[in-house]
Structure 1
Amino acid sequence: MLDVSPLPKIARPLLRDEAYDRIRHAIIDGSLAPGAPLRDAELAGELGLSRAPVRQALLRLAEDGLVESKPQSYTRVARFAPDDVRDAVRLVRTLHEFAVREALPRLAPPDVAEMRAANERFATAVDAGDVTGAIAADDDLHDVPVRACGNRAVAATLDRYTPLLRRLEHARFGSLPAHRSVRRHAELIEAIAAGDAATAVRVTSTIWTDLETLLETP
């Protein structure tokens, strides 16, 4: 019997995913600015990859609305499109409301403790002006009910559209009502701890609605 390893068969998808994650992060945090040209050969060199996984990553990022491309003309970081971001905010808000409602009966004291710890990290990052740390902690906090609700379609859709919002937050962190978000998070956590679904959903809605105010910031 031949000893054939399956690992080579998954190497290319893993490289594609790695390229996607790293380019997406650079777009979200502004390292790759809106309108910046994206040349697959240059990106491949910087990432230490071949051009094929980079091309695949750029196609996927275009589907996500983070890259725009015109055949035989340009591929570049997409500029902010307020209507697209507003649509994403409303979708993300609705999905988080659903996740909190579905997850609440399943959330246990360790989950509540995890959310409290994430909010403490969020508050510390906000005080330090650490936008990357604040957004990472915010993701950690909201991921708890998303994970607990157990709906993979919700998780996948949030993974696709939340980056549009995080990119806006990176660009306009100074205008973000972050200290108010610390309080909102605390209200959400206490509602979950008390088993108060109506309040938890209402606060969740308010948290994500607050992001829409950034769209009006120059």
Structure 2
Amino acid sequence: MSGVKLNRLRRVSLRERVLTELQGHIVSGTFAPGQRLNDSELAEQLGVSRTPVREALQQLQAMGLVEAIPGASTRVTEVDAADAAAVFPVVAQLHALATRLAVDALTAADVERLHRHNADLLEATKSGDRDRMMDADTAFHDVFIELSGNPVLAELLDQLTPRVRRFEYALFDDAAGHASAHDHEQIIAACEASDVGRIGELVERNWLSLGDDVVRQLKIQETPS
């Protein structure tokens, strides 16, 4: 094997696999807001013991996706405007910081990756494929997180991103997809111009605009008819 470099494989624990499965169902809305989650029932359906399920539920609680009901089961948290208004500005600041940290490491190949992910977002928007839209948008911003080289920043965003994506999954539509892709085009142009200050501002505005739209839509839904 001389001269062959292999990437070290990451071991994924059973708890992490359970966490990924449950988190996906909450973010996509398969587990609806307010729905009770019984650890015994989940363990039986997943074919695992209750221990990794309980550990996963504890982590989901720390992420704000579920809440524990004393003396009862766990419940999926509600999706409301107040939570969206609180979380989006924080996420916007963290992504802006990631971008500012990443910009010096940005190469032509990285800019090409940004173009490719944004093209995927536009294509998914045309077909109305929400899952693909979410994946493309995540991949776009992950370029900056990866290049930031800051594991603490990445860890914080890992905790908050599922909460944000849950709002997006429920409310992200074709119009939002086109608006986000347009924002991305401006971000890419600033990267190509090496306009460091503007890149961070554009990324922050991209997330804040999305947050404002989410809050506005949720307030409409919460207003009694």
User: TM-score w.r.t. structure 1 length?
Assistant: 0.91
Q: What is the CA deviation profile of residues 133-167 of structure 1, one whole-angstrom value per residue up to 9, with x for unaligned ones?
A: 10111110000011101000110000101111110
In structure 2, stretches of 5+ residues that fail to align are: 1-10
- Alpha-carbon distance in 2 for matches of 1:192, 1:205: 14
**Residue number in structure 1 paired with 2:112:** 113
In structure 1, stretches of 5+ residues that fail to align are: 1-10
**Residue number in structure 1 paired with 2:215:** 215
- Alpha-carbon distance in 2 for matches of 1:118, 1:185: 10
Superposition pairs of residues 16-165 of structure 1, within 5 angstroms: 16-165=15-164
User: TM-score w.r.t. structure 2 length?
Assistant: 0.88
SS of match in other structure, 1:71: coil
Q: Which amino acid aligns with 1:214?
A: V
- Alpha-carbon distance in 1 for matches of 2:163, 2:214: 12
- Alpha-carbon distance in 1 for matches of 2:85, 2:144: 23
- Alpha-carbon distance in 1 for matches of 2:80, 2:169: 15
Compute the displacement of 1:82 (Å). 2.6
Compute the displacement of 1:211 (Å). 1.8
Compute the displacement of 1:107 (Å). 0.4
Two-structure CA RMSD over aligned residues (Å)? 1.7
- Alpha-carbon distance in 2 for matches of 1:20, 1:53: 8
Compute the displacement of 1:207 (Å). 0.6
SS of match in other structure, 2:36: coil
SS of match in other structure, 1:177: helix
Compute the displacement of 1:30 (Å). 0.7
Q: Is the 8 A contact 1:116 1:189 kept in 2?
A: yes
Q: Which amino acid aligns with 1:210?
A: S
Q: Is the 8 A contact 1:88 1:162 kept in 2?
A: no
- Alpha-carbon distance in 2 for matches of 1:173, 1:187: 20
Q: What is the CA deviation profile of residues 106-130 of structure 1, one whole-angstrom value per residue up to 9, with x for unaligned ones?
A: 1001111111111011111111111
Superposition pairs of residues 169-180 of structure 1, within 5 angstroms: 169-174=168-173, 177-180=176-179
Q: Is the 8 A contact 1:103 1:146 kept in 2?
A: yes
What is the aligned-residue identity percentage?
A: 34
Q: Is the 8 A contact 2:125 2:177 kept in 1?
A: yes
Q: Is the 8 A contact 2:92 2:204 kept in 1?
A: yes
